[in-house]
Structure formats: C-alpha cells, structure tokens
Amino acid sequence: MDPIELKLKSTTLYSFKPERMDYVEWRRLVTIGYVAMVGDLFHGGHINILRHAKVYSQIVVVGVLTDEAVSSYKREPVTNFEERCKLISQIKFVDIVIPQYSFSYADNLRLVRPKYVFHGKDWKHGVQKDTREEVIRVVQEFGGKLIEPNRYEGVSTSQIIEGIQSREK
C-alpha cells in the first residue's frame, strides 16, 4: 500500500464510505485538492489558498516543501520543515500533510492524483514559471486542473521579512 493510500484511508471521509465500496471506487468519487507550500512565516495568503482548496475539494493534501527544496530556489526557511508541518496540519482546511522533496511537483502529483492543484497567480513569471508549466502538463495526465485564485491583498512572506529586516537597521 502506498503512503498516500494509507493516509487517505485514515480520513473520516473514507470511514464513512459504504461498506461494499472498495478503495478504488471511493478514490474515483472523492475530490482531492493539492497545495504545495513552504508555509514559512504563515500569513493570510496561506489561509486564502487553503480556503479555496477546501471549497473545491473534499480532501485537501498539502505538500510541505522540505528545507532542501526551499533552499534550491529561494532563501533558507526561517522555520524548519518539522515545525512547518506541525503548524499546517492543525489548520482546519487541511486534511493530509506530506513532504514535497523538490521544487518540482511532479512526483507528489503523480502520487496523489488530485482533481485540482491550487497556487496563487504569482508564479506565472519568474523562477516558478517552469514549475507552473510542469504542473499543468502533469495534472493533464490524469484529468486534473490548476486553479489560481486571485492574489491575496494582504501581507506576503517577503513583506514580513522586509519589515523585520528594516527594524533591525
């Protein structure tokens, strides 16, 4: 049994399925959303994307990027991987937390096979552009869709870091 199947079978939603329904049939019926995130210096934008995911999905799986994955494309996280997983797992919009070992979503998407992947529109340009294109290609393999909610009009992680750094001067 793969690790995601084990986690899906431990959800309340799975425990409520009819007795005669097997895992394969249940899996075809349930709507799964996937969100990858660093979750460092958690703020309203993170909640916004998770809320969108929960509206569309019966089960929301969050792939938390490992410290190594984050460092591969931007700064080292302020909060370590284990702490970020603990925090994110306690959010009411999140059902399952799994590690995302690289900047690429491909392995986790093929494992989870979500109907929807959620990410803010901020990755259409810049360092994440190629990753976005890869996500679109991979989810099309199993009929999934990328949903990009409007940008959260509030504070971002970068703004939090800039604010802290400006106070130190």
pLDDT tens digit sequence for 91-115: 999 999 999 999 999 999 999 999 9
Q: 142: pLDDT confidence band, cut at 50, 70 and 90?
A: very high
More confident residue, 98 or 122: 98
- CA–CA separation, 139 and 132 (whole Å): 11
Q: What is the pLDDT of residues 146-158, one digit of tens each?
A: 999 887 666 656 6
Minimal CA–CA distance to 110: which of 32, 30, 16, 169? 32
The confidence score (pLDDT) of residue 157 equals 61
Query: If phi over 0 gives left and psi between -120 and 50 gives alpha, with beta otherwise, what is residue 129?
Result: alpha
pLDDT of residue 169: 65
pTM confidence score: 0.88
